[in-house]
Chain A
């Protein structure tokens, strides 16, 4: 019953400090997930070799994979800590579980990173429906079930950062805005009212860091915890960008 799990956590005290590894040994319990491990560490932050430590800082909120907070690198691969079940992780690698912060965002502390980059991307592509106001103006546009089915998966994006983390085109030497922002731009470009601002969005999409910077590695769609068809959005963005540039070149 007293089966132990080895958990190795990459720790970093502050934004600019170096990192170190700490090992924790925790009691196994069936049905555990990685957030439970972190809660257990918080309650009793004692490492295997160095003794008393501090609780590991991490982001987590809903614990059911709809809020997007708890993305981190678990056993070398980015995913949500809440849905990373310990039993599955131990099956892949029985000796230990390794937790690291995502590498594409500035680390605030330990596993907690600052994802402002992603929210800024949403501002750049103007990811919203430009309604007149919030007074009663009747219902929204009618939509076919088919259209809704296209739209719905894209609306599930929780800005978790998995796509950004896995994208080889996002790093210090590039200004790629990221798959999530492109997908949101497409969502609103395809909305009956959202499309009124398509031009504005396409300016961002065809600018520096826009669709041109996608390298078609297609990791985004593989790591997305919500199975959002990101590569479809990217291809659509390519198509819209082609049309947009031609229209701008030949029109007016």
Chain B
């Protein structure tokens, strides 16, 4: 604190403000938008497994473009948002014990939920995404006829069934809180909600949005966790090794 700026500034110092704004932005577009898409597509399982698979198919229709889109549009922004976020977290000094104001609790929660969400995302990637294949994860198979059942199976695996579901619920809630509160603060950061009354209104809107998105997210967990995995016509054996390639060729 209070150290006078040195003559030579580092890259992050020179672009301090832009990086902060990029961090704020990245949390909403693309990461937040992706979160909404992801959770609503998942929730379509509540309509029917076919509906869910149709939605999954739409995404995978990108074919060979999917991987670059995933990397540039999702992985890198999340990684940037997370790493920069950790730096912000550690440059702060939470003090909710002395100052237990709502705003302060929100502030601390924003950091904690960000951390939880990031760890959860890593787990989730291992658990569901084909990237997890080499480590014994990657249970999700996007093929039509497989997508819903493999997800459900992954959520209902033997003894881990309950902890996995709890973990998913925590992860989803953390991500949703982080996103909803992030929208609220970004409205301040960008100077859209200036006065206390507009901040109150946007606060209510963000709470409602957060509750809605939580319901959407939790409903799909519940649906996959309770889905009958021994449905006729569905295979319990998943060919994990070349699933991604098969999808690509099929989609192409």
Contact = CB atoms under 8 A, between A and B. Distances in A.
B60 to A, nearest CB: 38
Interface stretch (B44-52, B99-107, B118-126, B134-142): B99-107
A239 to B, nearest CB: 2
A117 B83 CA distance: 29
B1 A168 contact: no
B186 to A, nearest CB: 9
A250 to B, nearest CB: 14
Pick from B17, B88, B104, B106 the residue with the most CB of A within 10 Å. B17
Contact of A232 (B99, B104, B196): B196
Interface string B1-45: 111010001000100111111000000000000000000000000
Given A173-B90, A239-B194, A222 B99 contact: yes
B107 A242 contact: no
B92 A235 contact: no
Given A175-B3, A210-B16, A215-B92, A235 B194 contact: yes
Contacts of B199: 231, 235
Contacts of B95: 166, 168, 219
A172 interface: yes
Contact of A173 (B18, B21, B91, B101): B91
A13 B94 CA distance: 28
Contacts of B1: 104, 117, 170-172, 174-176
Contacts of B91: 169, 171, 173-174, 213
A241 B92 contact: no
Contact of B193 (A76, A168, A212, A235): A235
A240 B190 CA distance: 9
Interface in B178-201: 185, 188-196, 199
Interface in A128-161: none
Interface in B64-110: 88, 90-95, 98-99, 101, 103-104, 106-108
Contacts of B5: 207-208
A168 B190 contact: no
B120 to A, nearest CB: 22
Interface in A198-252: 206-208, 210-219, 222-223, 229, 231-232, 234-243, 245
Contacts of A170: 1, 93
Contacts of B3: 175
Given A232-B194, A232-B196, A241-B17, A217 B188 contact: no
A212 B92 contact: no
A167 B103 CA distance: 11
B190 A238 contact: yes
Contact of A216 (B13, B18, B93, B185): B185
A208 B189 contact: no
Given A217-B107, A229-B196, A207 B99 contact: no
A218 B18 contact: no
Given A232-B195, A240-B191, A168 B93 contact: yes
Given A117-B2, A222-B99, A236-B194, 17 more contacts: A117-B1, A166-B99, A170-B93, A208-B13, A217-B107, A218-B107, A219-B99, A219-B103, A219-B104, A222-B104, A232-B196, A235-B191, A235-B194, A238-B188, A238-B189, A242-B190, A245-B21
| 9 tightest Cβ-Cβ pairs between the two chains A and B | A239-B191, A212-B20, A218-B103, A217-B107, A206-B17, A238-B191, A171-B93, A235-B194, A216-B185
